[in-house]
Structure 1
Amino acid sequence: MFSRLAAGVTGRPRVVLTLTLIFVLGAAVLGVGAFGKLLDGGFDDPKSDSSRAADIVEDRFGGAPNLVLLVTARSGTVDDPAVTAAGRSLAAELAEEPGVRGVASYWTGAGEVLRSRDADAALVVATVDEDHADAVVAKYDADRAGPVTVQPGGWAAVNRDIGEQVTTDLATAELVAIPVTLVLLIIAFAGVVAAALPLGVGLVGILGGFAALSVIAEATDVSIFAVNLATALGLGLGIDYALLMVSRFREELAARRDRRAATVATVRTAGRTILFSGATVIVALAVMLVFPPFFLKSMAYAGIAVTLVTMLTAVLALPAVLYLLGDRVNALRVGGLVGLFRRRGAGKAAAGAAAAGPAPAEAPREATESPFWRAVATRVMRRPLLTGLPVVALLLLLAAPVLHVSFATPDDRVLNPGKPSRAVGDVLRSDFGDNISGALDVVVTGQPAAEALTDYATALSRLPGAGRVDSAVGEFQAGARTAPPGPASARFATDGATYLQVVPSIDPMSDAGQDLARAARALPVPAGSSVLVGGTSAYLVDGKSAIGDRLPLAIGLISLATFVLLFLFTGSVLLPLKAIVLNGLVLGAVVGVSVWIFQDGHLAGLLGFTPGPLDTSMPVLLFCIAFGLSMDYEVFLLSRIKEEHDAGKPNAEAVATGLARTGRIVTTAALLLAVTFAAFATGSVRFMQMFGLGTALAILLDASLVRGVLVPAFMRVAGRANWWAPAPLRWLHDRVGLSESAPVAPAVTVPAPATEPAGLPSPTTPSRT
């Protein structure tokens, strides 16, 4: 299969590249339009009670308030005549804005609940359409002359600030990641031409992802955050796959092959590895489609598209480029760190060769192994339990903070305090008795009698954490009606339905806020009616349920699919199980570290965030991305170990050789990919910081402790069982498994002390995979 593919690519390389160029131009044109179609939010379950309640409030009552203007007196109180006049004028001005409705304020009869405790600030609240929200928020975010200052808050402002910050953070991350990545690639390849190829492959993947998002956004909701993943994953996988392909091609050239034979061998070996690697990443990403929030579905759309395009580019277009370049892939050589390592290795190899006598004429001209990684594998396998068990203990220790993890949906506190919507949220929580932006929306459909509705509102106001209840039958606090129905009460009633706002006196994201939502749902409903409870706390309860209820299914699907793919790749039953268990250890450690940093607050000052519960969708996203990328490196390593094993080498030698010939590639790829994701930690949105830092940590742990220690330790203990499968499964693998590989050429191993640092791949001593 891969030999035929390689023959086709080398037969018409210019045709392949022309088609690739056409695709790139089309994807660029299509992808530019994606940004105007992507949406904020997407963390809720659209079929949950809270979402259904929000839809009814939007369709039948004009929507719950989502814009809060914090109006602060420059001097005096909000009851001073000049401030009162300014407040009334501001409310009237806001009511005239396009897309704005339901304006209420402290100065227009909404009550003292919209005035701060010390009376130096008051609120104007309104509902604004999504299409007009950004423009309205931007207008009132500007400095204003006069006796008051105005700051926009509420969900309309929070979503705008998050969207703007994510866009800024993405640009900053790219400014950090791309130059650093390019420098590291030049060091890794010691040549500008070879270093440019991974960036080219990554760029094609990114453009393909943007184009896919543009098309998908025409049919369904897609989150703006998918852009971040498309960029990071495209760049990272482009580096992974191109590094693997280019290194193998240079190795084949070094083995005195002509460029056509080198290209065919490269596609047949590295191309097969990339195909399985990409498949494991796609499977891991596809699992996010089982979760209802379109934030996670959007990440799946972006990730699958980027992985597929990057994989095909690496297997089709890149070999065509390599075939045309031939030896010129090593053009524009650059000396540096790798050159230093190569000269040291060459000097030791020359000394060893002088002592041993002349080398056989048929030996390859170049070393193909990392002495450091062979030494690591050898030492680990000499005492596998002694070296492996402490690593397992360390990963379990890092995972320990998971035992006290808590979750929330994103609110203004994911932003840094400098953002206006975050500042408004802090004031609402500290200076106002009730948090109107965190109100529960209790929708009652049917025709309950006024007395029954009054009893229901009274019962709601008695619930722990309920500050007050606003309704069509008046205002209630602590089980008593505190105000009769007034002009503002009319907005709570329509034909066949009414709704009540339960304004909490507690943080709606807290455990007490969630208990309030559950208690409201547990109350007996008025006779002849049905009730849906929505609002901030209800969203959080439903969001946790949507994730938690489907998590076992997701874990089962990703484990089953990974097992099947790795079995088809290796023909082993034990190796896929080993990979799943070790990945689980790494992911547990990463989530534990995330809890320690982002929930418990360690490193908060350094990274500039406010500690708080983990966002409900982030662990799922982190799990799927990290699992897929970990399997990426698992396939890299197992591919070479299996190649050596199939060539007849004993188990321990096959493992040592496999790690020696992939160690540099995995280390380099992991370092570059970690830089790409860690760049997101430079941003100012807490959940994106967690995603970037957590993914980078997972990659580094996997490439070092897992691939360097746990895999060789496990495979040494398992021995022949590594490749065992029941007879029916062996029969199945013989017929449907892909086992095409190139003959293994003898390797020239450069002797070196075990303490020699792991260098990056040399242009003349590439790792063989």
Structure 2
Amino acid sequence: MLQRLGQISASRPWRTLLVLLVFIVLAGVIGGPVAGRMNGGDGFTPPDAESSQATAQLERATGEETSPGVILLVRGDDAAAQAAAGGLAAVPGVARAEPGPPSTDGDSRLVMGTLRAGVDDEEVAADAVAAFEGRDDVVVGGGAVAGLQLSETISADLGRAELFAFPLLFLLSLLFFRGRAAVLPLVVGITTVLGTFLVLSGVNLAYSLNVFALNLVIGLGLGLAIDYTLFLLTRFREELSKGAEPREAVATTMRTAGRTVVFSAATVAAALGTLTLFPLGFAESMGLAGASVAIVAGLASLAVSPALLALWGHKLARKESAAASGRWHRIAHGVMRRPGVIAVATAAVMLVVALPALSVNWTPVGADAVPTGNSARTLSDASEAEFGGAATTPVTMAVTAPESAAGEVETYAARFDAPARYLGSNTWAVNVEAPGDAVGEQARALVDDIRTADAPFPVAVTGPAAEFVDQQATISGRLPLALAALAALTFVLLWLMTGSIVLPLKAIVMNALTVGAALAPLVFLYDGVEPTNFLVSAALIFALSTDYGVFLLGRIKEARDTGETEREAVAVGIARTGRVVTAAAILLAVAIGAFSTSAIPFIQQIGIAVAFGVLIDAFVVRSLLVPSLMALLGKWNWWSPKPLRRLHERVGISEEGREAVPA
């Protein structure tokens, strides 16, 4: 099938490129505006959690949101605060606005604006910001404004990432691809990004996606496009150097490297797809976007590359440096001379590096995620410094009881030194003031105390601390399933490729080591890490580690199937892939590393962790751990029980026209 696809694309390259141009234009027109249509909310709390259900119950009873969505910091006296409250109350979507407590020095006041339930928070926030634009005595903040300004920052980050990544990637592509071949990854990259935007436009109609997913689309889309085109181009040049004509070289490239691209795209999509097992909007959006971009990148590279390879033909020929190939060959044999020592030492160092990841401090996404200079961040900082955190939301209980049970409800609320307020619809609200940070240890302990205490009526707890507790509980509950799915999908795909059960198991363990080592820097660089951000980073690193593993295993298996000895097959595979994996890792680290230019800390964290992980995988795992472990296991690398071996003979995917040497 791959040869047929390559033949269709290569036989009429100009027609293929014309179809590609039409597709890019349509994808840009239809999918380009997807950023403005993504309104999946913050996505960090599961919708079926107790806190979410309590919030929904309170909103149904009052027709209002449970906490102030827009907060004003007014520099002035009570009269100024009253005037500002009137202006805020006039904003469409604001249910009420009330002056809050004064600052500790008495020079400022807070005004709390509660939004109507069901309104578009960002739209109301934009109107509120516009209503007080130009006022030096009023700072507009709150959760809704923070969400608006995060979305605006994301859009600015996309532009910054493009300005940073594209020129640098083009220069590096010129260095690694040489000549006109440098155009190939950029063409496939643009096709991948716009094609994924088009796919996500359709997905967004059925499932509201989080806007943060767009950063992943650009970084991963460019990175995978570079990887896949580099794999295909390298094999095409190799075939040309053997004397093959361009059409013949394209056919061989699609049968060999094309097969590797298929497996790589499938493993990356499967790994990132496991994020959808967590019922958190941010994780689900990243999983859907990541799986989509991997599939689109694979399809784009396999459909577009043959046309350009056939069109330019011998003009792309470039003799591989014998010195570079020989150097990687010698490194592989050098490692395999002392495989036990090197395997143990490398694994031990990676374990030590990974240990800090076990002591990470989990923190939620709050107003401090908004970059300094935005009004929501200014208000948040002022709330802590001047008001003792008065703009934070308390722990809120939704008590289900009739109005006639007022005495019992008030007695229950008195246990927590809190007043009870009847809202209607058999719902009472009890706001308990938690000391310290709104999501700190004391607030979370209070949530646990309320939930474990006996109550005369059904009680559900909400508020920032309760939402964070529910998020962590959801992640802990779904993590075993997600890990099992990740391991199972990776195992099955690598088994289909190799026929071995040893190689997939070994790949899973090595990928886990890489993930741990790559996430450790976040512990040292940041005071806290948002849990779902940690999940996304781990899934990305695991996926990309498998990506390079597939490419290397493909070449080792090919060398072994042609009769090379076990160790020589490993050395040949590393020699043929060493330079290309190194180049691909550097390019992908730049593409994903563009995340680190984001003004939002938890987006920065993804860029740093993934770039670090990719480089560890290319320079440590593929250079030291893979050859040493393969030398230790020898022919047992390819072992599989007889029933599975027979099954693989029936369903395994092998290169067309090539018979494998049995294990």
Q: Tell me what 2:134 maps to.
A: 143
For 2:338, the aligned partner's letter is R
Q: Is the 8 A contact 1:253 1:327 kept in 2?
A: yes
* 1:383 positional shift: 0.8
Structure 1 position 552 matched with structure 2 position 480: yes
1:262 is the counterpart of 2:192: no
Cα distance in 2 between the residues matched to 1:742 and 1:715: 27
**Post-superposition CA distance 1:701-721 (Å, at most 9, x none):** 001100000000000000110
Measure, in 2, the Cα distance between the counterparts of 1:730 and 1:3: 26
Report how far residue 44 of structure 1 moved. 0.9
Alignment counterpart, residue 202 of structure 1, candidates 160, 165, 189:
189
Question: In the TM superposition, what whole-angstrom CA distance separates every residue of 1:463-515 from its partner, at most 9, and x where no partner exists?
Answer: xxxxxx3542xxxxxxxxxxxxxxxxxxx512321212223221022222211
| AA partner of residue 484 (structure 2) | G
CA-CA distance at 1:384 after TM superposition: 1.2
Task: Tell me how far apart the structure 2 counterparts of residues 20 and 308 of structure 1 sit (CA, whole Å).
Answer: 17
What residue is the counterpart of 1:91 in the other structure? 85
Question: Residues 141, 617 of structure 1: CA spacing in aligned structure 2 closer, same or farther, 3 A cutoff?
Answer: farther
- How far off its partner does 1:222 sit? 0.5
- Shift of residue 131 of structure 1? 5.1
- For residues 65-144 of structure 1, what are the structure 2 equivalents within 5 Å? 65-73=67-75, 83-106=77-100, 114-128=101-115, 129=119, 130=121, 132-139=123-130, 142-144=133-135
Alpha-carbon contact 1:204-1:313 (below 8 Å) kept: yes
User: Which one of 405, 411, 419 corresponds to residue 374 of structure 2?
Assistant: 419
Alpha carbons of 1:237 and 1:141: their partners in 2 closer, same or farther (altered >3 Å)?
A: farther
1:653 is matched with which residue: 568, 588, 591?
Answer: 568
Q: CA deviation at 1:376?
A: 1.4
- On the 8 A contact 2:435/2:442 being kept in 1, the answer is no
Q: How does 1:229-628 map to 2 (within 5 A)?
A: 229-329=216-316, 367=322, 370-433=325-388, 435-447=390-402, 449-461=405-417, 469-472=418-421, 493-526=423-456, 529-598=457-526, 611=527, 613-628=528-543
User: 1:59 corresponds to which residue?
Assistant: 60
Q: TM-score, normalised by structure 1?
A: 0.82
* Percent pairwise identity: 37
Which residue pairs with 1:638 in the alignment? 553
Q: Partners of 2:538 and 2:621 in 1: how far apart?
A: 16
Q: How far off is 1:560 after superposition? A: 0.7
| Matching of residue 219 in structure 1 with residue 206 in structure 2 | yes
The aligned length equals 652
> Would the aligned equivalents of 1:50 and 1:532 in 2 still touch at CA under 8 Å?
yes
2-structure distance, mates of 1:272, 1:614: 38
CA deviations on 1:496-539 (whole Å, 9 max, x unpaired) are 2121222322102222221111112223323xx32211110010
Structure 1 range deviating more: 240-249 or 432-441: 432-441
Matches within 5 A, 1:691-702: 691-702=606-617
What is the Cα deviation at residue 434 of structure 1? 5.3
Structure exhibiting the larger radius of gyration computed from Cα positions: 1
Unaligned runs of 5+ in 1: 107-113, 334-338, 346-366, 462-468, 473-491, 599-610, 745-769
Query: Does the alignment pair 1:721 with 2:636?
Result: yes
Alpha carbons 1:572, 1:722 under 8 Å: kept: yes
User: What's the secondary structure of 1:181's corresponding residue?
Assistant: helix
Give the distance between the partners of 1:678 and 1:404, measured in 2 at CA.
24
Q: Which residue of 2 aligns with 1:49?
A: 50
Q: Which amino acid aligns with 1:303?
A: G
Q: CA distance change for structure 1 residues 369 and 727 in 2, over 3 Å: closer, same or farther? A: farther
Q: What is the CA–CA distance in structure 1 between the aligned matches of 2:131 and 2:372, rounded to whole Å? A: 18
Separation of aligned partners in 2, 1:144 and 1:11 = 65
SS of match in other structure, 2:392 = helix
Secondary structure, aligned partner of 1:407: coil
Aligned counterpart, 2:649: 734
The residue type paired with residue 78 of structure 2 is: T
* Paired position in structure 2 for 1:362: none
The Cα of 1:135 is off from its aligned counterpart by 1.5
2:579 to 646, 664, 668: 664
Preserved CA contact (<8 Å) 2:439 2:468: yes
What is the CA–CA distance in structure 2 between the aligned matches of 1:583 and 1:253, rounded to whole Å? 34
> Structure 1 residue 166: deviation in Å?
1.9
How far residue 418 of structure 1 moved from its aligned partner, in angstroms, is 2.9
Paired residues of 2:87 and 2:131 also in contact (CA < 8 A):
no
Give the conservation status (yes or no) of the 8 Å contact 2:122–2:145.
no
Amino acid aligned to 1:31? G
Equivalent AA in structure 1 for residue 159 of structure 2: A
Structure 1 residues 104-146: Cα deviation after superposition (integer angstroms, max 9, x where no partner): 113xxxxxxx22222222210012331533323422563315x
Normalized per residue, the structure richer in helix is 2
Q: Distance in 1 between matches of 2:373 and 2:316?
A: 49
Q: 1:173 to 1:575 in 2, by over 3 A?
A: same
Deviation at 1:206, TM superposition (A): 0.6
Contact 1:435 1:505 in 2 (8 A): no
| Residue 767 of structure 1: aligned partner | none
Residues 1:185 and 2:173 aligned together: yes
With the length of structure 2 as denominator, give the TM-score of the two structures: 0.94
Instruction: State how far apart, in whole Å, the 2-side matches of 1:278 and 1:329 are.
Output: 25
Q: How does 1:27-42 map to 2 (within 5 A)?
A: 27-39=27-39, 40-42=41-43
In 1, Cα distance between equivalents of 2:245 and 2:123: 63
**Letter paired with 2:86:** A
Cα distance in 1 between the residues matched to 2:132 and 2:521? 37
Q: In the TM superposition, what is the alpha-carbon distance from 1:549 to its structure 2 partner?
A: 0.6
Distance 1:6 1:676 in 2: 27
The alignment partner of 2:415 has SS state of helix
Flag the 1:705–1:434 CA change in 2: closer, same or farther, 3 A. closer
Between the aligned partners of 2:433 and 2:140, the Cα distance in structure 1 is 20
Whether the 8 Å CA contact 2:412–2:455 is kept in 1: the answer is: yes
Q: For the structure 1 residues 292 and 70, does the alpha-carbon distance in structure 2 shift closer, same or farther, using more than 3 Å as the test? A: same
Matched letter for residue 524 of structure 1? D
Task: State the Cα deviation string for residues 177-210 of structure 1 (Å, max 9, x = none).
Answer: 111110000011221x210110111111111111
1:604 aligns with none
Return 5+ residue gaps in structure 2 as ranges: none
* Distance in structure 2 (CA, Å) of the matches to 1:681 and 1:713: 33
Q: In the alignment, what sits opposite 2:2? A: 2
Q: Give the drift of 1:676.
A: 1.1
Residue 551 of structure 1, CA deviation: 0.6
Pair 1:437–1:740, CA change in 2 (3 A):
same
Kept in 1: contact 2:10–2:310 (CA 8 A):
yes
Q: Which amino acid aligns with 1:500?
A: V
Cα gap change, 1:244 to 1:659, in 2 (>3 Å): same
For the residue of structure 2 that corresponds to 1:185, the secondary structure is: helix
Preserved CA contact (<8 Å) 1:42 1:295: yes
Contact 2:126–2:148, Cα closer than 8 Å, also in 1: no
SS of corresponding position for 1:272: helix
Contact 1:282 1:307 in 2 (8 A): yes
> Which amino acid in the other structure matches residue 738 of structure 1?
I
Q: Distance in 1 between matches of 2:46 and 2:308?
A: 46
CA–CA separation in structure 1 for the residues paired with 2:466 and 2:50: 8
1:71 Cα deviation from its structure 2 partner: 2.8
Post-superposition offset of 1:15 = 4.5
Q: 8 Å contact 2:43–2:210 — kept in the other structure?
A: yes
Contact 1:265 1:742 in 2 (8 A): no
Change (3 A) 1:218 1:722: same
